[in-house]
Chains A and B, each alone.
Chain A
Amino acid sequence: MSKKKLSRGVALVGAGMSKFGAFPGLATRDLFVEAFQEMLTTIDKGIDPKDIEALYIGNYSSDLFEHQGHTAPIMADWTGLAPRPATRIEDACASSGVALRQGIIAIASGLYDIVLVGGIEKMSDLPTAEVTDTLATASDMLYEIPAGFTFPGFYAAMGTAYMHQYGATPESFMHVGIKNHNNGTLNEKAQFGATIRKIMDGKIAKAEAKGYPVPDWADEVEFLQDNRANPIIAWPMRLFDCSPISDGAAALLLVSEEIATQFTDTPLYIIGSGQASDVALHDREVLTSIKAARLAGQEAYEMAGVTPADIQGAEAHDCFTIAEIIATEDLGFFAPG
């Protein structure tokens, strides 16, 4: 892949996020307005929202989750930005990441100077079986779904291939969940905001209070191995290996490099971005690595002129615990296995 650059610089000058969780009675637009309002408060020198020129909204499936299509113009309208162009980006789990990339490309092209990027999902209105169906539409409905695969099932299959190739165990995956729940306690907007230890202690306290037999889990791993406390979703992925069914929204403000300091003295410049696509799992040469992630990472590193060794912090996709393990390898932070 040739080394490509943005035609002009792009900076991030504002960011807002709704609380994440299950919010009956709140629609996607309510969560997006919450994120948008917070975003406005984060711009050090302020902004007149009317100066925003376009919106790129990442959303996987409002159609099936809420029976609402054509979602982006509604987000523009509810944030007072109609009739500005509003485009929804659907790319499964990567929808909002790709919306960010489209916002970057739009500014780099010279067409816009100020762009709002959103990420929205409202999943909790549907029962679990229908959420499972909706997530599964991100795979091949003709040739993968008839096999009984679910989205957790695909990652679980990568998990069994990974266990077979590298000798990992279900417990290897559990440690990712324990770490990520610890990280969640550092974010007041996280859905659970509790460590696995705290969730476990809560269940023990509840059993004691109600006079039920008190579970004798010695530690978090024993808790996570317990089928009742941590039921199997798609073996080896259990409940706490899977990201929850969530409602939430995020909003970012991107501006061109030339005007960035009008909004803040400390803009965050976008120095690299990458994107690639991949084929159905059964068509992949290897089942323990995601080629699209490797290629996207390489493209971003080349654009930024850095290597994985330069990266000091990363948020990798962790829809399932095995996904994070594979992502951190594909992004070059760890050797395979």
Chain B
Amino acid sequence: MDTLLQVDNLAVRFGPVQAVKWVSFALGRGETLGIVGESGSGKSTLLWALTRLLPETAAINSGEVWFDSEDLLRLPPDRLRALRGTRISYISQDPMTSLAPGLTIGQQMMDVLHREPWSAREKRARAIDALEWVSLPDPARRMEMYPHELSGGQRQRVSIAMALMLGPDLLLADEPTTALDATLEVEVLDLLKRLQRETGCAVIFVSHHLGTVATLCDRVMVMKDGEIREDGSVAQVFTRPEDDYTARLLRCDPARIIEPTRRLPTMADAPAATAAAVVGPAGRVKGSESPILAVSDLFVTFHRGGFLPAAIGGAVERIHAVRQVSFSISKGETLALIGESGSGKSSVARSILGLVRPDAGTIRLGERELTKADRGGWQAARGEVSMMFQDPAGSLSPRRTLAEQVVEPLIVHGRRAEATRAKAVELLTLAGLDSRFADRYPHELSGGQARRAGIARALAMSPRLIVADEPTAGLDVSVQGEVINLLNDLQERLGLSILLITHNMAIVRHAADRVAVMLKGQIVETGPTARIFAAPEHDYTARLIAAAHHDLPTHESA
């Protein structure tokens, strides 16, 4: 194949950290290459280093980047700029921050065409064409809008249109779908696949998830600690990985384990070990007793005030976040409440903890009716339910050591005498952290460790129910399994009930006994996990399952 890009011994430092370590690879014309790695692997740094777009704190130590017989690292700035946008384009990760907030979509689209010898009218027409090409509805009107008036998916379409408008030879995409919901991710990946076919441009697609690149790329490189650990065709890497790290990573990706298991493989497990069998719900779930939690006909509405009070004619926007939601959880059971951002699932969780006031409906926790509870009733309820919040480190108090904060629920509930250091160490140990962590602060922890500390705190009051809001959000694939294993294990040992709130279908299969699917504030489908995955009734459920499942490409090179 005709070589388009040749990278030799590229090395990048961030201060004392060697982020990319003397990496070499080549890319053919029209080839699609995926670079996969976990956070901190240096994959994005490598991508942005190719055309010298790194932040000032980074320095390229050595290397050559040959693009069509020119070394991009040594090209004079104006010649490099002439290539950017025309022959080499970027799509960056976060659609919320990748467009300038103060300029309209049209202004920014037309700025990309600033070098072309066209009239303003023609540039405008080309920009509208490009927006139409990426299937953005009503492109002429979108041209006049500002980025904040578009949804995340629409903005990412605009970014893609901008990147491909001038027919580049090379497209560099830095996690372009990571910030999007699963079903949107599928749409954007399909779009990229179509555009790649139509333009024939070469693509380097950086992602933290092996499955995502498989759908788009021919070839994949696996990065770890700034080095390339594996480089091969998608089919080869996925079926016969040569590197041990790749093999372990593939094995412990919950999305790639189809058979439900209560104990997912982890990075520490030897690749040969077999997954443990399912411990069925039969013994664990006490369905015959009255449910731990029963929510019925719950409504939550948010009011977003206009600038004038309603009394003098100001418009008050009502957002119906939750509409007529009912479900129950038995003792020892895990119910997964799934849905995408804005589906109202977090509002349900927050109403159970009294952080959001429902407009109607009842929430029964054991014998207590929470919507009618007084202060004392709520306080007692909060001793029986614990909540784990999305952001592992961000949900811990930044200026308190772990030992101080994991026992804090006891102090709040008037059991100060029990809030000892020994108790803190006991709780941390229960969550898989040893006593060395007792004196650490949240910013000294990795994502997985912070998540474990959050679980330790959630266990302090020996709750009957844990509400886990996106327990795997922000965690690398290799750590997700560990967290799910821990929750499953604790459930079996302590007889906990768990309300698992997530958009990650891959973990639901291995953790939940039953599933409730939320769409636009309503539950559209409920059922046992196995049945939901095998035969989803609602179209939306089917799409969610499909989105989580990244098929291997069928065009295996013989």
Q: Do A and B bind each other?
A: no
Seen from chain B, the residues whose Cβ lies within 8 Å of a Cβ on chain A are none
Seen from chain A, the residues whose Cβ lies within 8 Å of a Cβ on chain B are none
